[in-house]
Structure 1
Amino acid sequence: MRTKHTFRLPPDLALKLADYASRKRVPQAHIVEAALASFLSPDASERLEGALGRRLDRLVRQVERLERNVTISNEALALFVRFWLTTTPSLPDGAHQAAQAKGRERYEGFVDALGRRLAKGRTLAEEIAQDIEPSEGTESAPPQEPV
């Protein structure tokens, strides 16, 4: 048994309802009933909350992975800098200009090599993962060509 309800709609909303009902060839009452059921359904909000929760969980895992990778990168850089500073002797006073020129040249080579490597889309982390986890049936991954 259905209960009759009478209510007033703003003119623009009434036009939209009439237009939608005529396009779908269904009574306006069915559209209003479906809209009310959807609006008042607790399932819709629970589904939305669940979807948002899953998305947030995925984002948290991605951020934690990024944090781990940044920490590893920072530690690797700090270790390299410490090693380089402890093993590289100071330059004599007359060699600074030549060393700076050679340093700029080597840095440009480094940036070019980095650009080529990034253009390939392959990362050092992927190569390390392959070296650590060799494919099944082989003892070690084949050596990769240096950049």
Structure 2
Amino acid sequence: MAPKRIKHTFRLPPDLSAQLADFAGRKRIAQAVVVETALASFLSPDGSDRLEAALSRRLDRLSRQADRLAYHVEVSNEALALFIRFWLTNNAPLPDTVLAAAQAMGRERYESFIEALNRRMEFGPRLTNELSFDVPGKTESDAGSAP
């Protein structure tokens, strides 16, 4: 035997009433069931706790993503700075007689670099992945020893 139901009469704005009718029609359920479910969800004491938990999980995920992004930016900046320092300390300025030929060679090398970068971005490993494999981290046994 179904529990006794109490009839309620209330008025809705036309646009909200249209949304209710549209949603109930799409789900093929009675409008009363939609209103009943919405009220139960809104009035449930743990509804706000569930919403807060869902928001907390999402914020945690966004925070981890922002941390990873910051790490990748830091690695990129350090790699670029290291390359620039190396290049500036190991390459002497060219005399004017060979400057045009060096610039032409530089353009060719730059185009090759861009092609290699495109290939690597599409198919190749990422620098951060290589760092984790190429640079050994300190293990617990290394923690007590001097570098």
Task: Name 1:56's counterpart in structure 2.
Answer: 59
Q: How does 1:1-147 map to 2 (within 5 A)?
A: 4=6, 6-10=8-12, 13=17, 16=21, 23-24=28-29, 28=32, 32-132=35-135
Give identity over the alignment, percent: 52
Post-superposition Cα deviations, 1:54-76, rounded to whole Å, max 9, x if no partner, equal 11111111111211221121112
State the superposition RMSD in angstroms. 3.1
Q: State the distance in 1 between where 2:113 and 2:60 align.
A: 38
| Long gaps (5+) in structure 2 | 137-147
What is the CA distance between 1:105 and its match in structure 2? 0.4
Amino acid at match of 2:10: R
Label 1:60 to 1:31 Cα distance change in 2 as closer, same or farther (>3 A). closer
Q: State the distance in 1 between where 2:122 and 2:36 align.
A: 56
Q: State the distance in 1 between where 2:120 and 2:72 align.
A: 18
Please report the TM-score for the alignment, with normalisation by the length of structure 2: 0.70
Q: State the distance in 2 between where 1:125 and 1:31 align.
A: 50
Label 1:100 to 1:10 Cα distance change in 2 as closer, same or farther (>3 A). same
Which is worse superposed, 39-48 or 102-111?
39-48
What is the CA distance between 1:83 and its match in structure 2? 1.7
Equivalenced residue count is 128
For CA contacts below 8 A with separation 6 or more, give which structure has more relative contact order.
Answer: 2
